[in-house]
Structure 1
Amino acid sequence: MLIPLSYMLFIFSLLLGSIISISSISWFGAWVGLELNLMSFIPLISVKANSYLSEAALKYFLMQALGSAILISSSFLVPYFFLMSYMLILLALLLKIGSAPFHFWFPQVMEGLLWPQAFTLSTIQKLAPLTLISYLPYMPQLNKLIILAASLSAIVGALGGLNLNSIRKIIAFSSINHLSWMFIAVSASDIFWFLYFIIYSFIVLSITTLFHKLQVFTLSSLIKSDQNKISYPLLISFNFLSLAGIPPFTGFIPKWLLIQLMLNLNLFVPLFFILISSLVTLYFYLRIMIPLFVMVNPSLNFNMKFQYMSLLSMPVVLKTSFNFLGLLLPFYFLLS
């Protein structure tokens, strides 16, 4: 399916806005880039005349406008109230990114989006705010606030995803939970958070592409979808196991590196919350995977003929294959 030229222009300006924010040398330039990014994403949300899409676009606009207003107002106070202004800037960026305790809008907006826009909101729209957070000057108070946001995001992301039927809301709370890992990486190192973000983005791209192909949005519709092909449950399971950080999948690599980093920095309490929350998120990932094989699908049995991967589109298979890069990890130890 060809993408209309107008949407290509919006995608280009969306990426341009993120680049302007990241490369800006002033908070005003960063604000301009964020506003360009916002104005480009709103038309991409409202791609169809749909009340759910319009409601999601309105909620997203209001929250981002509030965050932008706090950001630009606080930036003018930097010469006069240094610490307080930077704390307000951090809170504004946390609001724009959908982090706990300002997460209330994120699952609601995600629920009203199509899968391509859900991928964009979960990944690309977080790049500029995360980068700006990493640009903040090091101060113990700011660092403690970031670690507090990480701990809250871990708890909210884990508990919020329990007993949900909507796959998009599950992905939303999973995204909030993964923010906790990225916040810890931002507070400790400028390298690890970007590595985590890139790997997380590829995994989410694989998941959203697969669900977009199946056109499913709830667990019940997923169970009733085209499951005569055992390839679909396998690919879904591989993606969610990688998202959970289970070895030997690719998602395990950044989590393993960050656990080592947190142990070296004596961040034992945040590490405890993050690891416990990861176990809870693994539980609701298993709630998605297990019914595909066992509970309500008797057609999947040992006598079932395996469907060849040619039945799937090659982009889906290639994106899922990214999750197996973790198998190369033992060779790193052999060569080091």
Structure 2
Amino acid sequence: MPFDKPIRRVAIVGTGVIGASWAAQYLARGIDVIATDPAPDAEINLRKYVDEAWEQLEAIGLSPGASRDRLTFIRDMKEALAGADFVQENAPERPEFKIKLFADIDAAAPTDSLIASSSSGITPSVMQSSCKHPERVLVGHPFNPPHIIPLVEVVGGAKTAPEAIQQAMAFYAAIGKKPIRLHKELNGHVGNRLQAALYREVAYLISQGVLSVADADDAVSWGPGLRWGVMGPSLQWHLGGGPGGINHFMEHLMDPLGGMWKTLGNPEVTPELKRTITDGVLQEAGDRSVEQLAREENALLVALLRLRIHAVDGMTSGTGEERPRVPTS
């Protein structure tokens, strides 16, 4: 089945933090959103989240037609999905629950619509296993919060049609996201695995008394983290190779790096390590609540994203280069 119809109406299944953030993102791009969730206060909480996120989205830049008035809430999932061109699912991370839910979504959504899951770890082959039309089921995993962080990991299951993946990639790029395609299914996908790999070494260094929790955080956010916000580690090594670039790096620096890999730690997660990290984090946070820290982070992320968008615009101006970008009014 070809998946080529325009996506003008998105259904959000599950309106917790991730689902609400997705709803705000789609509304900001001028798309009609129909949300559904069985929780008693779901609609109230959803609209509150969208209202609070709208200022951030205005700072990033709204697309023509963007409006919170395009949001509709329908408690009955079957009714909500009846006219959807694209479904973004955001339900709890329980495989058995997801399998049943996806079978129900598959039965209710138009057969030419795509069904994407925000699942952070469950593979699409599992979720599509009881669907009559598994060819349109895939994962579109965002990074939190989706209305700010551009990355989306797109991965299909064993029965997902290549055309469905292609349309999902094109759609996410068209609304200002940065989609990457995973060619194999992995638990945790890619972004979370990269985070886990880094944090394993952070935990090891803390457990060995090399540095404090706060200094470990600073070592990342004020060092390589700043570079990683500009370009990824492989391209960074191209710069690290000097005039010879990546070829010089591979010839002269890759073997020493491989030697360092052998010394990386595999910490034992003991009660003592948990207490050390917990105490360090609470000391670092001080009197700032989780909500306050999240607001501070989001404000900086929006500012950095705006800076990056404008900087790239300047670098590509007059070059004829085309790139996906956040639409602005």
More helix as a share of residues: 1
More strand as a share of residues: 2
